[in-house]
Structure formats: structure tokens, C-alpha cells
A = this chain, B = another copy of it.
Amino acid sequence: MDTPAATDSLTAALEELRHRFGERLLTSDAAREHHGSGESHLPPQWPDAVIMATSTEDIADILRAAHTHGVPVIPFGAGSSLEGQIHAPRGGISIDMSGMDQIIAVNPEDMDCRVACGVTRQALNEHLRDTGLFFPVDLGAHATLGGMAATRASGTTTVRYGSMRDLVLGLTVVMPDGQIIKTGGRARKSSAGYDLTRLMVGSEGTLGIITELTLRLFGIPEAAQSAMCSFASIGKATETVVAALQCGLCLNRIELADTVQMRAINAYSGSDLPEHPTLWIELTGSETAVAHDMAILRDLAEGALRFEAAQTAEAASKLWRIRHDALYAARALRPGIKGISTDVCVPVSQLPACISGIMDVIATTSIIAPLVGHVGDGNFHLVLLYDPADADEVREARHINSSLIEMALAMGGTCTGEHGVGLGKKAYLDAEHGPALDVMRRIKRALDPGGIMNPGKIFDL
């Protein structure tokens, strides 16, 4: 562990902050390690200190001190980000906001709520249980809503409800100099000036720290029906997806796994599911609409090798558990190997070409790489199971990752559909954005002239 040397500025900032935060300022190795590792595949980079913040004012005070002394700050929610967003490549202060877990207001009539940034989506939905409402962004991770906004997260239900980009109505943000601003509001739409809400969503803590969020909520649909179907090829599966999207079926989730992933699932759970490209589909809405659309879906999937509609809620839940366990099943193909997850997103029509293109590349390597994807959005993940201690495998995994991104960009896609850039995807942004990346840099310099906000993330200056 290479810790940046403590500088005078850092010492001065920490002294000032220790007066303010007392025991909530931590410098133990345990705290620094926890806050500098996270879920990513990248080597840990510890912050110099951690502050357990409990309010927007706490964060404003920290940022004022950091601004004065020129010390980096790194926002930390649940530590579930995958691309090193919480790493501290230049040291500094990690601000842990997991204690900011107040659900401030729920407005059932307006179907919105206001939460502090450390509330997890699970905690919010638990809280909403008796209202008939829910917050729909559904990712695999146990993440905070502030972190989800900061990385512009999405997940399995984005095909229906959109991503964090679409569902945040307003924010409270602490700017790099400690000024507290409010963006957006509770109106469903507004044309009143620049969309600072969406500038902050996805900015990964590099422009300011999100401390509160106003979120859209939705009524829990009356009915849900699920099906799982296997196809002879990825192309046949995506044809069905395209048709279902064009027909406007009441899709809630439409997920894909490839043959390698299906083999992994069978091996992991002892099942004998067909080892072919497979779709999981959930329809939600009124009983009538769901039944009607399921019949249409069955017609649209006429080319399927097998179409299994869950007849009971238990059967549906079992079917989705298989999908949920896909990552564990993938990792079980090489016990002890964590793997890294690719994250490209392309136009849906390009999925078969993109997937078959990368499979050709994978075939030239020794890497096992099962695939799952949010196929309704054109976003898929390959889990590249390589041994970080084996130089050949590292080289091969990097080659697969960069080849995939190159293909996705050539198809009009993006290097990251939902995981964000952090440290891990920085190398690809120039190819993706071209001169627009300079516009991003100019915004960064204008709002964070001291460069203290999560430095080193998204792009270098």
C-alpha cells in the first residue's frame, strides 16, 4: 500500500477538521483500507483520513476546509462502485455518508420523495412498503441512492422506468468551496435554465457532493408475469426483444444470458436448463394487460427453442433467483477468481454483431467470459475470469476489454452503460467523446478550480 506522503496542507486541514468532528474523523488503517478498496478490481488506494458525515452542513464544513487547504475529498456511500470511484489515488479525505440515511419526506399524491444521500434503495423501498409506491431502479449492488445518482446507475428495470438520469427530480449539492446549492425541484418538468441536476447525476463526485435527492416514485403494478425462453442464437433472442419493444409490451425486465453463462448456471445450481442463449422477461401492469401481452410475447418468441412462463409467483421468483445468482455462478467457473465486469451498451440491433464479434476475440484467448445483459437497453456484461497474478491472462483480459469497447464505440455505443468511469474506464473516454471531452474538462475547471473533488476520476486535467 503506497500512501501519499502527508503534506502540510493535509495536516492543517485535518487539525481543523478534528476540532469540528472529533471521533468522527478516523485515521486508522482499518478505516482507511475499508474506504480505499471497495468492490472494484483495481488495487486499493487509501485516503489519508475518513470523516463520518451526518448532514449537509458537515459536508459543507469539510469542503470549506479542503478548499482552503487544497486537500482532495472523495465521496463514499456504500463502497459498491466497480470502477474505483471511491479510490484515493492522491490521498485526501474520504467522506463517508452512509450515516445520512434519513428519509426526509414521502409525498404519495405527487409520487415523489426526498431522501438523504446515504439511504439505500432497499431501505427506501422497505419504508415505502405500505404506500403502494416504490422506487424502481434495481441494480445488483447494495448501493446508496446518492452513489447511484453520482454514477448514473441503472439496472434491470431501466427498460421500463429509465435510469437515475430520468428519475431524479432535484438535488442538494455541496459545491467544492462549501456552498450548498439546490438543483431542480418537485415539478415534474421545468425549462428554467441549465439542467444542473443532470450535470451532477453521473459526475461521480468530481463537481460537487450530492447530499439529498428528490426522486420520482411509481405505483406498484397490480400484476406481474415472468417467462424464460431459450433461443438457437443471440440474434434470434434480440429479434424477439426488438419486436417486443416495438409493440410496446408492458416489459418490466428483459434480461439475456449466453451459452457459457447458462452452462455456469447449470453447474452452479445443478439445474438442467437449456444451454442456449436465454431471455428472462417480466411483464407488469394490470392483470388484463399482463395476460394479453404475455400471449403476444409468446407469439413473438415463436422462434424460441423453449418458452417457459412461470405459472405461480413462486415459480417466477425461482426463475428470477437464477438470473440474480448469475454472477455467483459465473465466478464459480473459476473458484477464487473474482473477475472483472465489462459494461458496454450499444443500439439493440447491434447486439448480435457486437456479441459475436467479441466472442471471436475471446476464442483467441484462454479467458472464460460468461455474458449477462440488460438486453432491452443494449447493455451487457462479460465477467472476464482471469487471474490477476498471471501476466498472460491479464494481457488477454485487457485485450478483450479494449476490443469490446472499440467495437461498441464503432456501433454508436458507450464504454459504460451503468458502472461509470471512475479510474477503470478513463482510457476510453477520448475515443468515445472526442472534443466533447474538452468541454467536460472546461466545466470541471470552472466548478472545481482547485481540483479537490475526487481528483483523478473520469478524466485527467
Roughly how many angstroms separate A343 CA and B190 CA in the complex, as a whole number?
10
Q: Which residues of B contact A207 (CB under 8 A)?
A: 194
Q: Give the docked Cα–Cα distance between A432 and B421 (Å).
A: 32
Residues of B within 8 A of A110 (CB): 242, 347-350, 378
Residues on B with beta carbons closer than 8 Å to the beta carbon of A186: 346-347, 411-413
Bound together, the chains give a CA A348 to CA B110 distance in angstroms of: 6
- Whether the pair A190, B416 counts as a contact (CB closer than 8 A) is yes
Nearest residue in B to A291 (C-beta to C-beta)?
B288
Q: Which residues of B contact A444 (CB under 8 A)?
A: 194
What total of chain A residues lie within 8 Å of the partner, measured CB to CB?
99
CB within 8 Å of B: which of A406-437? 408, 411-421, 425, 428-429, 432-437
A194 & B440 in contact (Cβ 8 Å cutoff): yes
Identify the stretch in A72-80, A148-156, A356-364 within 8 Å (CB) of chain B at 4 or more residues.
A148-156
A153 touches B192 (CB 8 A): no
Interchain CB contact (< 8 A) of A432 among B192, B221, B343, B416:
B192
Interchain CB contact under 8 A, B418 and A189? yes
Also in contact, A195 and B202, with CB within 8 A (given A112-B347, A434-B181, A435-B180): yes
A20 is an interface residue with CB less than 8 A from chain B: no
Q: Which of B414, B442, B458 contacts A185 (CB 8 A)?
A: B414
Tell yes or no: A366 within 8 A of B by CB.
no
Q: Which of A11-19, A94-102, A160-168 contacts B (4 or more CB under 8 A)?
A: A160-168
Chain A 158-184 interface 0/1 with B at a Cβ cutoff of 8 Å (1 = within): 100011011000000001000111110
Count this chain's copies in the assembly.
2
Q: Which residues of B contact A183 (CB under 8 A)?
A: 433, 436
Also in contact, A189 and B379, with CB within 8 A (given A349-B110, A439-B181)? yes
A218 touches B248 (CB 8 A): yes
Interface members, chain A 336-389 (any B CB < 8 Å): 343, 345-350, 377-379
- Residues of chain B within 8 A of A439, CB atoms compared: 175, 181, 196, 447
CB contact under 8 A between A195 and B247, given known A187-B346, A285-B289, A345-B188: no
Q: How far is the CB of A433 from chain B (nearest CB, A)?
A: 6
**Interface flag for A293 (CB, 8 Å):** yes
Query: Given A110-B349, A180-B435, A187-B347 in contact, is the A425-B166 Cβ separation under 8 Å?
Result: no
Enumerate chain A interface residues (CB-CB to B < 8 A).
Answer: 107-112, 132-133, 151-154, 158, 162-163, 165-166, 175, 179-183, 185-196, 198-199, 201-203, 207, 218-219, 221-222, 242, 245-248, 250, 285-286, 288-289, 292-293, 296, 343, 345-350, 377-379, 408, 411-421, 425, 428-429, 432-437, 439-440, 442-447, 458-459
* 5 more CB-based (< 8 A) A-B contacts, given A165-B195, A439-B447, A442-B447: A163-B189, A183-B433, A187-B378, A190-B417, A443-B447
Query: What are 7 A-to-B residue pairs whose CB atoms are below 8 Å?
Result: A108-B246, A111-B246, A158-B188, A185-B432, A192-B415, A194-B443, A195-B202
